[in-house]
Amino acid sequence: MMKRIPVIPTVIVVAAALTMIGLGIWQLGRAEEKADLIAAYSDATAMADTVDFPLAGPGEALWFRRSTVECGSIATIEPVAGTAANGQKGWAQRATCRVGPSSTPVLVDLGFTRVLSTPEWSGGRVEGVIAPGPRLVADPPVGDLTPLAKPDPGDLPNNHLAYAGQWFFFALTALIIYALAVRARMKRRSR
């Protein structure tokens, strides 16, 4: 009796494995792109000139650059988890400011505190660094708040290498399981 490998299931499994390998290679490319982006953001932290705060969209090209916001009115101020410049954990007081003639909402991290009480601040000009979101991290802080840790491009995740490894592992696993299944099938047929 002649042993035959099933054609259609083999084509499907090989196509799936090739797709997974392709996704792994794509993730390797994404890892390089993300590393380049983080390096560009690191360079942006050293730039002294200010840029306009992005009022529309995520403004990713301006992240980690210095900017100013004129907070015309305040919609809310609420505490969110934050880290002080000295590494202490506590609260960042985050304001939602209304900016410009269209009252565009802008998030501004005003400064660090260890208490939950809302700071006395009625708005005005805030200088700082544009963080992902986008939001402005005040530098210097406003009122009696203390400085927050500056946004760090090194905190941005670059998981693409791990994702690539997962796709390669999935492809290898699929091929091994399929090979074992075909082998078991051929043994049963040869009896």
Per-residue pLDDT, averaged over 75-104, amounts to 90
Per-residue confidence (pLDDT) for residue 30, from 0 to 100: 93
Per-residue confidence (pLDDT) for residue 1, from 0 to 100: 42
Closest C-alpha among 83, 95, 85 to residue 119:
95
pLDDT in tens, 131-184: 998 999 999 999 889 999 999 888 888 899 999 999 999 999 999 999 999 998
Per-residue confidence (pLDDT) for residue 168, from 0 to 100: 97
Tell the residue number behind the tokens 């544009």, with chain if given: 130
- Residue/partner pairs of 41-46 with CB below 8 Å, 24 or more apart: 41/153, 41/156, 42/153, 42/154, 44/153, 45/129, 45/150, 45/153
User: pLDDT grade, residue 31 (50/70/90)?
Assistant: very high
Per-residue confidence (pLDDT) for residue 3, from 0 to 100: 67
Round to whole Å and give the CA distance between 138 and 68: 9
Per-residue pLDDT, averaged over 113-124, amounts to 86
Closest C-alpha among 70, 72, 76, 75 to residue 118:
76
Residue with more model confidence, 82 or 45: 82
Round to whole Å and give the CA distance between 160 and 34: 8
User: Does residue 143 come out as left (phi exceeding 0), alpha (psi in the -120 to 50 range) or beta?
Assistant: left
